[in-house]
Amino acid sequence: MSEPPPRAAVVVGTRGSALALAQTKRVCAILEDARPGLSTEVRAIVTHGDRTQASGEPLPAIGGKGLFTAELEQALRDGTIDLAVHSLKDLPTEEVDGVVLGAVCLREDVRDCLVSRAGPVHELTDGTVVGTSSLRRSAQLRALRPDLEVRSIRGNVETRIRKVREGEYDAVLLAAAGIARLGLEHEVVEWLDADVLVPAPGQGALAVQSRADDAATLELLAVIDDRAARMATTAERTFLRALGAGCTAPVAAYGTTSGDAVHLEGLVASPDGREVVRLSGTGEPEEVGERLARDALHAGADAILEAVRV
């Protein structure tokens, strides 16, 4: 069967940070490898989340859905871009009219890691200042080390590392995949296993959206869609959605696949780390995600999430 004729350049939208651009260029590379003759054009778009970086306001305080994705989705609907690339963990679980998740790909290291002037987590002294913008990370760190001082931090990966170097923070928690994609592994003092700090739903994976009615682009994206990554992250994101929680909530989930089944670890923690609901199960992606969410709500996650919403 002959290859379809080359199409005009596919315009790929992304945020403008170094990490977002690096991730998007990798997606473009695998698309071009999958379809010889295809050309891509990267277009950076500023999101609401990007515009609030300088304020330093914590992400949960800003509120709203799609802080880092809404403008890209609008550009898709407007036809300004053909594809949008996101870190999957930033993508809300609610469906968006006219836009679909065409591929989940390049899922790499799901772990969190520590960049630190003061050593690994177990060596940090009382009162050590650790920065994170994530309620999920801060809640689990407080549960693990309630003697530490956890503070909100904003900015891109490089900015957060610089704040540690300059002494504004003693350490910072970051996603390992982002560190690796930027070639900054040498900055890491400790890689935290997923059973120590459970990752965010979708962490380490890239999401590629397209217009729902763009059949040619959806056919192209089907070639790079990773079945195992799609299954695992579907279970994780179903857990998040069924809890009625958003991307900034203190919710963690990590799925691993075996055949058609996913083993899912789910966690909901109070922001102070004093209450932790953690459970696991195995099943088909959406079934196990919904089941664990129901079990978590019955085990006290409902009260934790209600308090966070207030």
What is the per-residue pLDDT across 191-225, written as a single tens digit (0 to 9) for each? 999 999 999 999 999 999 999 999 999 999 999 99
Dist. CA 293–CA 282, nearest whole Å: 13
Provide the pLDDT for residue 43: 97
Rg of the chain on CA atoms, in Å: 19
90 is a catalytic site residue: yes
CATH of 242-309, one of 3.30.1050.10, 3.40.50.2300, 3.30.160.40, 3.40.250.10: 3.30.160.40
Q: Residue 264: is its pLDDT beyond 80?
A: yes
Q: Residue 62: is its pLDDT beyond 80?
A: no
Q: Residue 87: is its pLDDT beyond 70?
A: yes
User: Which position among 82, 90, 170, 214 bears the catalytic label?
Assistant: 90
Q: Quote the mean pLDDT of the chain.
A: 93
Provide the pLDDT for residue 245: 87
Which pLDDT band, with edges at 50, 70 and 90, does 60 fall under? low
Mean pLDDT in residue range 163-177: 98
Which pLDDT band, with edges at 50, 70 and 90, does 56 fall under? low
The hierarchical CATH code for the domain 10-106+205-225 is 3.40.190.10
CATH of 112-192, one of 1.20.1250.20, 3.40.470.10, 2.40.50.180, 3.40.190.10: 3.40.190.10
Could you give the count of Cα atoms lying within 13 Å of 131 in the half-sphere of its Cβ?
25
Q: At what angle do helices 227-242 and 285-296 cross, to 10 degrees?
A: 30
Say what the pTM is: 0.92
Query: What is the rounded end-to-end Cα distance, in angstroms, of the chain?
Result: 58
Mean pLDDT in residue range 284-305: 97
Amino acid identity, residue 111? R
- Note the Cα 81 to chain centre separation in Å: 22
